[in-house]
Structure 1
Amino acid sequence: MRPALPACLVVLILLGGEASARPHSLGIAVPTGESTIAYDMNGAGQVAAVLEDGDGNTRGVLFEKGKITDLGSRGGMHSDARGINDRGEIIGSARNKDGTWNAFLFHRSSGMRVMGTLGGPSSYGMGINQEGISVGFADIPNGDWHAFINHGGGQLQDLGTLGGNISYASGINKHRHVVGTAANADGYRHAFLYTAERGMVDLGTLGGRQSSAMAINDNGLVVGASETKDRRWRAFMHDGKRMVDLGALIGNYNSFATDINNAGHVVGTVMVGSERMSFVWLDKKMTVHRGGQGLHLTNAINDRELVIGATYDHGMTAATMASNAAAVITRGGSELLTLIASVLTLAGLAVLYHLRNRGIEMTGSGS
């Protein structure tokens, strides 16, 4: 992929009811009142998902060919599953009886393999690559959270911070390059890229105070969200040289990129007033799917061009949709803004950057 985005862009928005564009339920059978959310899907169609009952108790599962495999627990009432690689290894976290958490790796043949911590009581698993190298965050003895990488042994490696007191790792590629969010010396949280050669590098912002990196592909392209000068949040792609504002292709709304595949296709969420929409940046085109037409939660995109997440209708339902789902072509960004404004009732633009179950909550200014 070229290092910089082309100047000439085509912007798309889905407004109609084309059946081919709608998400498809994964068909995870659960009791009435229970919700399901898909977090990732590998090339073999195995899904890392979370089920939630009516009391709010969650459990991470492997879903494959109509069958649910519970990942197990540590005696507590909660577990989750954040990612899965092509070997069928799942990264997740489980709550212990005493309320602490442990990151774990799960494989159907070996079961749950619990990770340690960085000296504090808890750890959380967030991302995994095809080799089974995992990342996440854990508390250190003083109670602060630090990003970690687990190279396959029992010991977690502390990735440090950008000069502040906290950091969170959220994604890793085949080169063991890690992305996430870390506080700087001023207490503001910035997106970071960590490599063994350079350590933790600040990726900056789109002119605002804060940013957060959520995923990285094997070509080194990083995606996430950044605050702008006017205190809005915009989805971004970092090409190794600069942070590119993908949200500007959608309009002056809050947008958050959540994942990128190896083809450089990006997915995420757009908030317009109270309406949550999903977007796909695919082959130099931006497609936005209205609420109810696309996924409500857009968690991942795999190399089979399936967007993974959940729909919402009186509860979450794990679902996927094709990345190239049909859309109506408009002439560009200005027409898109007019079109959105004409069909939505704007209810205010105060937005919480809480990508539900992605582990990082971005509120306020940092510490």
Structure 2
Amino acid sequence: MFTFSRAFASAAALAMTLTLSACGGGHHHGNPGGPGPGPISNGPTYDVIPIGLPGATYGEVTRRGIANGGVVAGTSRGADGTGHAFLYNGSKTIGLGTLGGDFSQALAVNACGHVTGWSATKAGTAHAFLYDGTMHDLGTLGGSDSEGTVITHCGQITGWAATAAGQTHAFLYDGRKLNDLGSLGGNSFGNGLNNLGVVVGYSFGPHNAWFHAFLVDSRTGGPLVDLGSPVGNSVAVDINDAGQVTGWFRNGEGAPTGAFLYELGKIRDIGTLGGASAEAFQINGAGLVIGASATADGSNRGFVYDGTTMTSIGSLPGGNVSIAEAINGSGLVVGSAATATEEHAVSWTRKDGIVDLNGRLYAPPAGLVLVRALAVADDGYIVVRTNQGLALLRPWK
């Protein structure tokens, strides 16, 4: 029986089975003759643009690794597994280099092609970086290492960094320096950041005995706000500009996970698709939450939650598993689903339902199979993993 090539999981290693732009524009062209041969389903039609990664055997892009205009940042890996950060600027792939060490990893990009992530230094430690044409070392909070996880349109960055006291704290980079956001007593980590400078993540309590989702508003300079949890521990993974927060919670090691939405000062369980577990991955500007949930029959489906109802994105013929990886501002969801024999990249909208993206390609390369959609921009560009490497899907206008 077909199973996904990886589990969907958060930083806490959950046990659910199955993780050009405002600065320039890309060229769009009309459809001269309709889609090429193959099964055609609903939804837009796409050109396929291979993202060349010289010397790479594998490429990685997070859901924050795409911006409008086909700007993509990610990590290429050679046969030895060593990672190197790259930027595809809409026309060519650029290696970002390192901070003097042997490896680097890009985790997020904005519409100007500015990238954050982490890189090895000459000393062999990992430091957060900002790439804006040059890779800049963002340093630490007095300790040895750091990592940038999110970058906004305005160039603010959050992540985590080691302190001189030996803890790890969430930070906000404001364009000049790392600002220590503190903690709830133990280590803390920044996972989400909106364009207003509000950071969310999770923090351990004293002695790292428990962890809760937090929110901190850099405009007020106040301390971390403990968002609590519907039950047990919790982690915030994303926040939109309206201040709505999503994430997951769990009551003890090995316990089922749940997905939550925090808004108007309250955190609440948003339920499941009938099974024991769910996990939220992202929230868009309209408050739509996406993630994955167990179903009553023990399989897993990607979901979209609209504030009141959790809706399954469904599955493809011959399969019973799907995952929603990312969502854009218009509600276009991308991810993957099982067929009877393999994994296929899919999209989902309320209008069209689940769509196998392999059936929406114009003149694709021979033998190409879109395996998983990894990220989607607000203008509809999609990054996909294929059996021939990473590729960009450019929608026809």
TM over 0.5: yes
The CA distance in 2 between the partners of 1:125 and 1:172, in whole Å, is: 11
Residue 87 of structure 2 is matched in structure 1 by 62
Matches within 5 A, 1:8-23: 19-20=41-42
The CA distance in 2 between the partners of 1:320 and 1:29, in whole Å, is: 22
Q: Secondary structure at the match of 1:224?
A: strand
Q: Secondary structure at the match of 1:206?
A: coil
Is 1:123 the counterpart of 2:146 in the alignment? yes
Q: Give the C-alpha shift of residue 129 in structure 1.
A: 1.7
Matches within 5 A, 1:1-367: 19-20=41-42, 27-30=50-53, 33-40=57-64, 41-65=66-90, 67-107=92-132, 110-153=133-176, 155-163=177-185, 165-185=186-206, 187-196=209-218, 197=220, 198-207=222-231, 209-228=232-251, 231-246=255-270, 248-270=271-293, 277-282=301-306, 285=309, 286-290=311-315, 298=325, 300-307=326-333, 321-324=347-350, 326-327=352-353
In structure 2, the gaps of 5 or more residues are 1-38, 355-397
Cα 1:106/1:235, change in 2 over 3 Å = same
The CA distance in 1 between the partners of 2:84 and 2:40, in whole Å, is: 34
Structure 1 contact 223–260 (Cα < 8 Å) conserved: yes
What's the TM-score once normalised by structure 1's chain length?
0.71
Residue 380 of structure 2 is matched in structure 1 by none
Q: Give the C-alpha shift of residue 311 in structure 1.
A: 8.2
- State the AA in 2 paired with 1:70: G
The CA distance in 2 between the partners of 1:51 and 1:294, in whole Å, is: 28
Cα 1:250/1:105, change in 2 over 3 Å = same
The CA distance in 1 between the partners of 2:167 and 2:348, in whole Å, is: 40
Which range moves more in the overlay, 186-195 or 46-55? 46-55
Cα 1:290/1:316, change in 2 over 3 Å = closer
The CA distance in 1 between the partners of 2:70 and 2:214, in whole Å, is: 31
- CA RMSD after TM alignment: 3.6
- State the AA in 2 paired with 1:226: F
The CA distance in 2 between the partners of 1:232 and 1:23, in whole Å, is: 39
The CA distance in 1 between the partners of 2:227 and 2:149, in whole Å, is: 20
Residue 364 of structure 1 is matched in structure 2 by none
In structure 1, the gaps of 5 or more residues are 1-16, 329-367
Number of matched residues? 304
The CA distance in 2 between the partners of 1:275 and 1:51, in whole Å, is: 32
What's the TM-score once normalised by structure 2's chain length?
0.66
- State the AA in 2 paired with 1:184: G
The CA distance in 2 between the partners of 1:255 and 1:139, in whole Å, is: 31
The CA deviation string for residues 30-61 of structure 1, in whole angstroms up to 9 with x for no partner, is 46842433432223331222223332222222
The CA distance in 2 between the partners of 1:261 and 1:228, in whole Å, is: 27
Structure 1 contact 37–310 (Cα < 8 Å) conserved: no
Indicate the percent of aligned positions where both proteins have the same amino acid.
Answer: 29
The CA distance in 2 between the partners of 1:96 and 1:266, in whole Å, is: 37
Which range moves more in the overlay, 257-266 or 118-127? 257-266
